[in-house]
């Protein structure tokens, strides 16, 4: 089955991916740039906060949960304190999907979670959905007419 043609201009949107694993960074880079989005990586929470402070808001932030030093939940709380981070969609990448974990994601201020391992289709579906919810302005390109947020919303998994 061929991949559905994107309704949004992914090239104008930048995704921040926070994960301490070089392998997961490589996977995120390949999947995200392969789908046409721009990608910036951060190896830990402090690097992520530096990147957020240094540029225009990201369209979506993906973060691992279990990282050395500051974990993904605390990173999310810190991002929400920043002027640029109050509304940016934050998606947790986690190997755990118990009720308690989902509750932690929600309490930290996250928007959704993706259970690892994941495939490109799942990741891109989330990015397409959440990048349209983002307040970050696409860089110089408008949305392609005809996108359906209702349809996208049914295909993604938000934190209840």
Partner 1 sequence: MDAAKFIALANQLTQGLEARLGRLAELLDGSSWAEAAQGAHDIVSVAGNVGAMHLSALARNLERLCKNGGDPERRSASAALRNEAIEAMRALKGYQSAV
118 or 135, CB closer to partner 1?
A: 118
Residues in the chain: 160
Near partner 1 by CB under 8 A: residue from 26, 82, 153, 155: 26
- 34 binds partner 1, rule: CB under 8 A: yes
Say which residue the tokens 């880079």 belong to.
29
CB of 22 to partner 1, least distance (A): 6
The region of 1-9, 26-34, 75-83, 133-141 touching partner 1 under the rule CB under 8 A is: 26-34
Distance from C-alpha of 48 to C-alpha of 52, rounded to nearest angstrom: 6
Distance from C-alpha of 54 to C-alpha of 73, rounded to nearest angstrom: 21
- 30 binds partner 1, rule: CB under 8 A: yes
Residue 29 has phi, psi (to 5 degrees) of -60, -45
Residue 95 DSSP code: S
Q: Please, which of residues 61-120 interact with partner 1 by CB under 8 A? A: 66, 93, 95, 116-118
- The DSSP element (H or E) to which 91 belongs, if any, is strand 90-94
65 or 136, CB closer to partner 1?
A: 65
Distance from C-alpha of 24 to C-alpha of 117, rounded to nearest angstrom: 10
- 21 binds partner 1, rule: CB under 8 A: yes
Near partner 1 by CB under 8 A: residue from 12, 18, 24, 124: 24
CB of 54 to partner 1, least distance (A): 27
Residue 49 has phi, psi (to 5 degrees) of -65, -35
84 or 122, CB closer to partner 1?
A: 122
Bridge partner residues of 51 (DSSP) = none
Near partner 1 by CB under 8 A: residue from 3, 4, 22, 103: 22
Distance from C-alpha of 63 to C-alpha of 73, rounded to nearest angstrom: 9
95 or 153, CB closer to partner 1?
A: 95
């Amino acid at each position: 089955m061929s991949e559905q043609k994107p309704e949004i201009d992914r090239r104008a949107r930048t995704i921040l991916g926070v994960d301490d694993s070089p392998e997961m960074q490589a996977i995120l880079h390949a999947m995200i740039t392969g789908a046409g989005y721009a990608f910036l990586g951060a190896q830990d929470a402090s690097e992520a906060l530096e990147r957020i402070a240094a540029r225009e808001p990201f369209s979506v932030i993906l973060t691992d949960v279990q990282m050395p030093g500051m974990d993904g939940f605390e990173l999310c709380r810190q991002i929400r304190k920043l002027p640029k981070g109050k509304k940016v969609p934050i998606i947790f990448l986690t190997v755990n999907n118990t009720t308690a974990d989902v509750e932690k994601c929600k309490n930290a201020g996250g928007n959704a979670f993706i259970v690892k391992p994941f495939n490109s289709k799942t990741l891109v579906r989330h990015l397409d959905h959440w990048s349209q919810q983002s307040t970050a302005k696409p860089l110089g390109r408008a949305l392609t007419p005809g996108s359906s947020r209702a349809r996208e919303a049914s295909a993604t998994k938000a934190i209840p």
